Amino acid sequence: MTVAQEAPALNFECETGNYHTFCPISCVAWLYQKIEDSFFLVIGTKTCGYFLQNAMGVMIFAEPRYAMAELEEGDISAQLNDYNELKRLCDQIKRDRNPSVIVWIGTCTTEIIKMDLEGIAPKLEAEIGIPIVVARANGLDYAFTQGEDTVLAAMANRCPKESDVKQETAEVKGDRNAISKLLNFGRKKEDIKQEESEYKDHPPLVLFGSLPDPVVTNLTLELKKQGIKISGWLPAKRYTELPVVDEGYYVAGVNPFLSRTATTLMRRRKCKLINAPFPIGPDGTRAWIEAICSSFGIEPQGLAEREATIWAGMEDYLALIRGKSVFFMGDNLLEVSLARFLIRCGMNVQEIGIPYMDKRYQKAELDLLQKTCQEMNSPLPTIVEKPDNYNQIQRIYDLKPDLVITGMAHANPLEARGINTKWSVEFTFAQMHGFTNARDILELVTRPLRRNNNLKDLGWENLIKEEARV
């Protein structure tokens, strides 16, 4: 009688405890574009303003829906009244923009001077008549993409319940019926009934995570093929269209950095979280859809063939990276999902640095990472939470990876030493979810390698090595 050998477990380490990442207030860059009727007010110092201006670029043709409330000496030394100053700014925002919601983004400075944003907001909201959502996005407590997590967690508390919807007036219902008729104008009743019949009977499903509209459409259609209807997205395109979220609803995340939002939905709204890997890469997308189908007792159809087709269409990129090594320094919390995908592509992941790891929320992703390593006969990478950058650079020198995925601060110094790098922030802003966008991930990953191949063809390889030695 033989005893089954247990699979080796993932190795987790934690180093300095500091966040060496991009500032989380940059979440404003994509959230103000996603939530079209919002206005974001970042409350911080001139340094925060300079950062936003450089990180987000200059909008020439349209004024963006965000602003800085700059804290100066009078604010920091408590010589000015916080309530009156914020009221003045919010009155101006209401007069100039009249948004459906104002989101206050707290920074490091508001934390240090103990500014009571949560206490001020309800009083001011009642006075000006516009909802004010408070989100902490300071770099002391949060890493880069966790800024979005705090915003969505705050908005989850504002989502309506079924009881709120039932109390709608007949006038509002009439307006909605009129809009529905307008949207269905020219369509046959048989077509509308057939579209409804394509969905199977299952509990309401709400997805959370900010994604570009084309990606939202793609994932919605992928689930529709399985007969699954999405009841809503958090965030919605408009704050006034936040999804109904109530007890017993099922929720699923699309990004690995949304653990606070998931916790809020489970604890405050009594929702059921679908523990699934994230839809990044063909393998992750298939596993994500399968987990949702499994939760509703639905047998998924055609996913294996769909995944195989996507892999076949990426062979030109796979040939470039197969057998190459990659090292993640850690920046945007997408590292585990990207590492799992790249291992499936045939790469060797030497280390996964990650600013913050919630093992419960990412359990399915970690399990898929372990399974992928076994199937690809790849060694299990060490996952280092809050890595010390100095130690990591020493390890990079020793391991000599073919590619380092890192934050912007270290990219140029590493390139100067002859090490290929890719900015991790580019993955945050790229459309990389779902089957159809897997090729875009490899486009980013292979760009430094393709650049070097082009330089070799031009005969510049020796010059590059000489500059690296200098």
Q: Which residues of 413-426 are buried (b: 16+ CB within 10 A; e: fewer)?
A: ebeeeebbbbbbbe
467 confidence band (pLDDT: 50, 70, 90): low
Tell me the per-residue pLDDT of 12-21, one tens digit each, with 9 for 90 and over.
999 887 788 8
Residue range 32-54: mean pLDDT, rounded:
88
Is 207's pLDDT higher than 60? yes
Tell me the per-residue pLDDT of 116-162, one tens digit each, with 9 for 90 and over.
899 999 999 999 999 999 999 988 889 889 999 999 999 999 999 88
Give the model's pLDDT for residue 172.
46
Report d(CA 112, CA 104) in Å as an integer: 16
Q: What is the mean pLDDT of the chain?
A: 86
Q: Which residues of 254-268 are buried (b: 16+ CB within 10 A; e: fewer)?
A: bbbbbbbbbbbbeee
Give the model's pLDDT for residue 2.
45
Q: Work out whether strand 101-106 and strand 132-136 pair parallel, antiparallel, or are unpaired.
A: parallel
Give the model's pLDDT for residue 154.
95
Q: Name the more confident of 180 and 406.
A: 406
**Structural domains for the chain:** 24-142 (3.40.50.1980), 193-300 (3.40.50.1980), 305-469 (3.40.50.1980)
For the stretch 415-418, contacts whose Cβ atoms lie closer than 8 Å and that sit 24 or more positions apart, written own/partner, are 416/467, 416/468, 417/468, 418/464, 418/465, 418/468
Is 62's pLDDT higher than 90? no
Structure tokens at 29: 């860059």
Give the model's pLDDT for residue 378.
94
Q: Name the more confident of 59 and 425.
A: 425
Residue range 205-223: mean pLDDT, rounded:
95
Give the model's pLDDT for residue 168.
57
469 confidence band (pLDDT: 50, 70, 90): low
Least confident stretch, 152-161, 169-178, 216-225, 291-300: 169-178
Structure tokens at 426: 């580019």
Give the model's pLDDT for residue 171.
46
179 confidence band (pLDDT: 50, 70, 90): very low
CB atoms within 10 A of CB 220: 15
For the stretch 438-442, contacts whose Cβ atoms lie closer than 8 Å and that sit 24 or more positions apart, written own/partner, are 438/281, 438/282, 438/285, 438/310, 438/314, 438/341, 439/310, 439/313, 439/314, 439/317, 441/280, 441/281, 441/338, 441/341, 442/314, 442/317, 442/318, 442/321, 442/345
Least confident stretch, 56-70, 260-274, 350-364: 56-70
113 confidence band (pLDDT: 50, 70, 90): confident
Give the model's pLDDT for residue 438.
94
Tell me the pTM: 0.88
371 confidence band (pLDDT: 50, 70, 90): very high
Tell me the per-residue pLDDT of 137-147, one tens digit each, with 9 for 90 and over.
988 889 889 99
Is 458's pLDDT higher than 80? no
Give the model's pLDDT for residue 109.
87
* Beta-bridge partners for 280: 433
Residue in 35, 19, 18 with CA at minimum distance from that of residue 27: 35
